[in-house]
Structure 1
Amino acid sequence: MKECESMNPFRFLHAADLHLDTPFSGMSGVPNRLRRFLQESTFTAFDNLVHLAIAEAVDFVVLSGDIYDASDSSLRAQLRLREAWDKLGRHGIPVYLIHGNHDPLGSRRLRLELPPHVTEFGTKLESRTAVRRSDDQPVAIISGVSYGAAAVTDNLALQFLRDPSSPLYHIALLHGNVDGQEGHDAYAPCSLRDLKESGYDYWALGHIHKRQILHEGAPWVVYPGNIQGRSLKETGAKGCYIVDVSESGAADLQFHRLDQVTWLETEMPIDDLSSEEAWKDRVEETLEEIRAAQDGKMSVVRLVFTGQGPLHTMLQSGPESAELLQELRRKETIRLEEAGVAAPPAGEIVWPAGFKVNTAMEIDRDFLLGEDSFLGELLRLGSQAAGSPELLDSLTQEALASLRENRLLRRLLKEQEQEVKDREELLRRAEELAAAILLGEETSDGRASS
């Protein structure tokens, strides 16, 4: 920030990726009442945002793209958005927003007129002067640019250059991917260096749904994440930042939760479990612990079974997991029904989305490595590959070559590779699977397994 004796302190709210009216399709086994609750959750999170802005008496709100979930946003979403704008307007809180790849300005949709206190930046870089609500004193220059189409591949960050004549705090609104972060399209790609060299004080980013601060101070580079998780790819607390800027231009950021539904993936070791009864009890205990810890929020949970133990084979191939999952869902459905016509008791619902098995057999690896057997040779080759990236890559490509020829299998392999990016983790799983198959065959033939 340009040096100055002092400036007017102010407060603003930074959020992004509202994705209003997300359909939540693809979830199986969910009761209709719970599905409606999920579909309403993005609106509830946005209502929480509005209440927070009013309660914290912010001077203005900045929203960094993907306000709607789809370019053909529903009339319901637009009406709910207009209702929120009106509420903020009655409290004198201006809004500055940009559009991203999900809701580009060039999309075909009914356009409701924006109220005067809401500024929607166009497809060319624009700047506005924000004032402090208490005395109308200028406090910040806010600049932003919206997407005109769903796919923007230009580096929009290069358009942002600080006005050297202004001592005010400079805030940039950008919906884009900094340094090619995985899991999101490379729209409006830029580097952290680009942002640092712009001269802006605060980069209010959107597009990446994981909350993260890429740089602290001179400038602040901030992804607040989305305000409501929408799948098991978006786990953990979701919300926004309240930013206080002092007279010296120093910023203090406080994260505030806005989500109504929390998506979780929780590990549950099986190492000390020796029976199906103990496993069932541990699953129920784990879900109850989550229920007690969620502080009034509904949870959608996937349990990941980890570790080694005698239950590995049952979890890998038996129907017990599917049966327990069905029973747990039945109990949560009853809990919903007991709530009657009232809204779902959010803090009391822990919906089990599924189980994921990352367990292994109990084997004496050291013994097998020294054994003159096919499995011993396979494990020795695996140990060599673990220490040689070239050998590991060669083995992986050779093993998967025939599978990649099938279109469906190629897609499934791609999904698996995205889920497990570490080749050594894939190697470990392959070794465990081979051991389970070969040792299982020995047992079935009447010979003792190692």
Structure 2
Amino acid sequence: MEEKMKFLHAADLHLDTPFLGLSDLPNALQQRLIQAPLTALHRLVDLALDEQVDFVLLVGDLFDSQAQSVQAQAALMNELERLHRVQIPVLLSFGNHDFQADLTTWHFPSNVHVFGPQVTTVTLTTNAQEKVAISGFSYSQRWIQTDLTSQYPLKTSAVDYQIGTLHGQVGQAGDHYAPFSVGELLAKHDDYWALGHIHQRQVLNAQPPVVYAGNIQGRHRGETGAKGCLIVTSQPDHTLQSTFKPLTDIIWTDITADLTGTYTRSNLLNALSDQLNQQCHDGLQLVSLMLPTAAQLDANAQLALNQGALLAQLRERATEHWWPVQIEQAVNSAEATSFGVNQATWESAGQQVVTADAIADLAANLLNEDFLNTALLETMTPAQWQAQVMRLLTDQYHVTTGGTNDVD
């Protein structure tokens, strides 16, 4: 049986994530959450050893910030040393969160190659004696507004596989995070593109694969579901196929409760705890609960929800498998606010004021603030942010917009 090439693709470890805004968690749970990225990293190395991969790719944002704690640095070095002991090469890059102006201050084990600020290529020989060329770069500053894909080499017949690593997002020159287009990547004829930066696992192209592995541990309640890495294996037809492997110790989860009819405070509390016990029975899930519009709360239950007493009581019933982060009540779209203004007047104002050009100016001005730019463009392009502002106005406030330009 022909030996297959196999490697591990991971990105966005975000070691040292502070997990802000969760001071109401019990201390033991807070500590477990803070340790969760390190736990996921340890599981990643366990997986690489168990799978006997030929090499490991870590594509940017190893740490959550440019300055790292001694604990996080030591944890990364210890895990890299475990791979060094069995001679598994690691090719890593720094991203926009942990950008490094001076790589000479780092002293990694000899099995580790760190990509510098310019695109370079390293060639490895696998256990099956196949040659694999791997290209990539690191961020030396927080923003890279240049499209660097032109620096990546075309695949040549001198290697069996060509792999590109890139921490960035689809966009155009001037965007902040190493913008690229899928077409540009495919034009290089690489066998696989290992992407980082977007925390949601996704495939931009099936064959050859252009893939975001996502992050290895959800950082907040907006990053729901299992997180992990990809094991990529060569196939008889020379294509590469990836398989998701979960690594998360703690999963953020959104659950809409199955409720209809009218509920007292006691009945609601019992129904919610019963459903959480039924749905959350593996690992630990941090749950954001939504009460559907079909559920009507009596005055006492509504007051308990509004004042946080219901959430506090539900937390008293939490098990080792679930912890309620918040409880929200869905709002019927027919009740969406128009601030008491006649609907016809509201729509007329929207057509005159909320034009595509006005939205573009508003969205662009918000992105001029550094902290907003960093937060918003983690998961979307400027055009997508502009479109989201438009959707918020139309969906949340039922504004009828004017202008002839469509916003993508």
Length-normalised TM-score, structure 1: 0.73
| Cα distance per residue 1:52-107 (max 9 Å; x no partner) | 01111111110110011111111211111111111112222111111101111216
Distance change in 2, residues 1:303/1:428 (3 Å): farther
Q: Unpaired runs of 5+ in structure 1?
A: 1-6, 336-347, 364-373, 405-410, 430-450
Deviation of the 1:51 alpha carbon: 0.4
| Cα distance per residue 1:201-256 (max 9 Å; x no partner) | 21100000000011001x21100100000101111110011011124321121100
Match of 1:425 among 384, 395, 398: 395
- What pairs with 1:31-430 in structure 2 (closer than 5 Å)? 31-106=26-101, 111-133=105-127, 135=128, 137-179=129-171, 186-217=176-207, 219-268=208-257, 270-292=259-281, 295=282, 297-311=283-297, 319=305, 322-332=308-318, 348-360=320-332, 378=342, 390=351, 393=354, 421-427=391-397
Q: Distance in 2 between matches of 1:112 and 1:145?
A: 16
Distance change in 2, residues 1:14/1:378 (3 Å): same
**Secondary structure of 1:225 counterpart:** coil
Deviation of the 1:158 alpha carbon: 2.3
Match of 1:15 among 1, 10, 24: 10
**Secondary structure of 1:310 counterpart:** strand
Q: Distance in 1 between matches of 2:350 and 2:298?
A: 29
The amino acid across from 1:115 in the alignment is P
Contact 1:314 1:320 in 2 (8 A): no
Distance change in 2, residues 1:51/1:419 (3 Å): farther
Q: Distance in 1 between matches of 2:313 and 2:389?
A: 28
**Secondary structure of 2:87 counterpart:** coil
Q: Distance in 1 between matches of 2:135 and 2:353?
A: 48
**Secondary structure of 1:140 counterpart:** strand
Contact 1:152 1:188 in 2 (8 A): yes
Contact 1:321 1:355 in 2 (8 A): no
Distance change in 2, residues 1:204/1:310 (3 Å): same
Distance change in 2, residues 1:316/1:209 (3 Å): farther
Structure 1, 16-25 or 276-285: larger mean CA deviation: 276-285
Contact 1:290 1:350 in 2 (8 A): no
Contact 2:88 2:111 in 1 (8 A): yes
Deviation of the 1:156 alpha carbon: 1.7
Number of equivalences: 371
Length-normalised TM-score, structure 2: 0.80
Distance change in 2, residues 1:172/1:284 (3 Å): same
The amino acid across from 1:96 in the alignment is L
Q: Distance in 2 between matches of 1:145 and 1:245?
A: 24
**Secondary structure of 2:280 counterpart:** helix
Q: Distance in 1 between matches of 2:134 and 2:254?
A: 38
Contact 2:289 2:328 in 1 (8 A): yes
Q: Distance in 1 between matches of 2:314 and 2:187?
A: 54
Q: Distance in 1 between matches of 2:389 and 2:316?
A: 29
Deviation of the 1:357 alpha carbon: 2.1
**Secondary structure of 2:79 counterpart:** helix
Q: Distance in 1 between matches of 2:125 and 2:301?
A: 60
The amino acid across from 2:130 in the alignment is P
Deviation of the 1:392 alpha carbon: 9.4
**Secondary structure of 1:283 counterpart:** helix
Q: Distance in 2 between matches of 1:213 and 1:113?
A: 34
| Cα distance per residue 1:280-327 (max 9 Å; x no partner) | 2221122212322xx2x2111111222245328877766556101112
Answer 1 or 2: which has greater helix percent: 1
Matching residue of 1:369? none
Contact 1:129 1:138 in 2 (8 A): no
Deviation of the 1:279 alpha carbon: 2.2
The amino acid across from 1:201 in the alignment is D
Deviation of the 1:380 alpha carbon: 6.8
Contact 2:191 2:240 in 1 (8 A): no
Q: Distance in 2 between matches of 1:234 and 1:273?
A: 32
The amino acid across from 1:227 in the alignment is I
Structure number with larger C-alpha Rg: 1
